Amino acid sequence: MSLRRVVVTGLGAITPLGKNVAEFWDGLSRGVSGAAAITRFDASKFKTRFACEVKDYNPDAYFPPREGRKMDLFTQFAVIASDEAIKDANLEGVNKDRVGVIWGSGIGGLKTFQEECFNFAKGDGTPRYNPFFIPKMIADSSSGNISIKNGFRGPNFVTTSACASASDAIVAAYNYIRLGMADVAVTGGSEAAITEAGVGGFNALRAMSERNDDPLTGSRPYDKDRDGFVLGEGSGALVVEEYEHAKARGAKIYAEIIGGGLSSDAYHITAPDPTGEGVVLVMQNALRDAGIAPEEVDYINTHGTSTPLGDGAEIKAIQKVFGEHAYNLNISSTKSMTGHLLGGAGGIEALASILAIQHGIVPPTINHFTDDPELDARLNFTFNEAQKRDVTVAMSNTFGFGGHNTSVVFRKLRD
């Protein structure tokens, strides 16, 4: 059985840098920080009091009030981004039995869960819960709402693998299409964890930056003084499609997905393996699946969360996999601008990789002030300013708590 080719025909986004793909790319290419003081709740007593929120978000601009109230914020973000991607791909007239929705979210409806538990705790002990509590909270409400709104009857599910969730969804969609189980899929991921529980929980893990005096520069991947990630929210969506199907209907094609790799650290529930062996394996698996040599990769959008251990392990792994070619790569962490979208990260970082191919521009790693002596200064981290480069092949890396590692490889379309 020959595997079918899979291409990207639609893009959508709602992010801390902008509420659509054009605004998102403008912020990325200009090196804008999306961090600011938290507005979603009173964070004055928290160790971290800033995050990368979607700015000036009003659900009434996107949903009738009754409809919006039935969805948690993470699902609202999923529907908004997928709406843009579906419109961009112009899916009118496609066979909806052959269109799937494969989505990623690491946490799901945390805001809803927290609110319902708080309300119960404030009461007299009588169980009074919103009838939409469970449908709003569960992670698969995202893919369910997308399919219901559009009538897509193909494969429909959600992947949950912490910060690798959206990338796992993209790889699953890629595999379903190339194996002939669908012709089109809406995929990506979303997260909305900027809540008391989300911020407090990650603070307890000592995982987040506490640079409250300078939130704009809180996310500092690969900087000597990095002190943890900055929490982000939002969604990135792709429409992926079998190549001949896309070509037959005259769809515009942004890039081709040529490989996906998965691996496990099998090391620790939160800490990365400091040897980077799981990360080495996932990139090797992705390259093998893509059928390309390491020397063919131009750009890696790294996981790069701004944590002391994680950044170093990933860079060591890149050097092991790519050898001398590592010095010819552009490397950047767009989390320096967007913050960490957790399970949604792979969605917007796939967009960043595809748009780098489209525009011939590598987005930067901002907030670099001091070289880390543990990291090889000869590598091109694309510090502080975007760089023009003809990007033919881009790799997107995402790694999650539990040791989940995923790499996706995109290539400029070849006829």
Task: Write down the architecture of domain 7-248 according to CATH.
Answer: 3-Layer(aba) Sandwich (3.40)
Mean predicted confidence (pLDDT) in 264-272: 92
Task: Find, among 230, 226, 163, 247, the residue nearest to 368 by Cα.
Answer: 226
> What is the full DSSP assignment across 197-212?
HHHHHHHHTT-B---T
CB atoms within 10 A of CB 47: 15
- The band of 344, judged by pLDDT with boundaries at 50, 70 and 90, is very high
Is 52 assigned a catalytic role?
Answer: no
Is it the case that residue 304 has pLDDT exceeding 90? Answer: yes
Pick the CATH number of 262-405 from 3.40.47.10, 3.60.15.10, 3.30.750.24, 3.40.140.10: 3.40.47.10
- The band of 183, judged by pLDDT with boundaries at 50, 70 and 90, is very high
Mean predicted confidence (pLDDT) in 338-365: 98
The 10s digit of each residue's pLDDT in 48-77 is: 999 999 999 999 999 998 899 999 999 999
What is the reported pLDDT for 124? 87
- The band of 277, judged by pLDDT with boundaries at 50, 70 and 90, is very high
- The band of 2, judged by pLDDT with boundaries at 50, 70 and 90, is confident
| Percent share of the chain, pLDDT over 90 | 95
Annotated active-site residue in 79, 137, 163, 408: 163
Fold agreement (7-248, 262-405) = yes
**Alpha carbons 359 and 128: distance in angstroms, whole number:** 53
What is the reported pLDDT for 265? 93
Domain boundaries in the chain? 7-248, 262-405
Is residue 160 within 8 A of residue 105, CB to CB? The reply is yes
Overall size of the chain counted in residues: 415
- The band of 247, judged by pLDDT with boundaries at 50, 70 and 90, is very high
Q: How many CA atoms lie within 13 A of 126 on its CB side?
A: 2
Least confident of 120-134, 304-318, 320-334, 344-358: 120-134
> Is the whole model's pTM more than 0.95, yes or no?
yes
- The band of 197, judged by pLDDT with boundaries at 50, 70 and 90, is very high
Average pLDDT of the chain is 97
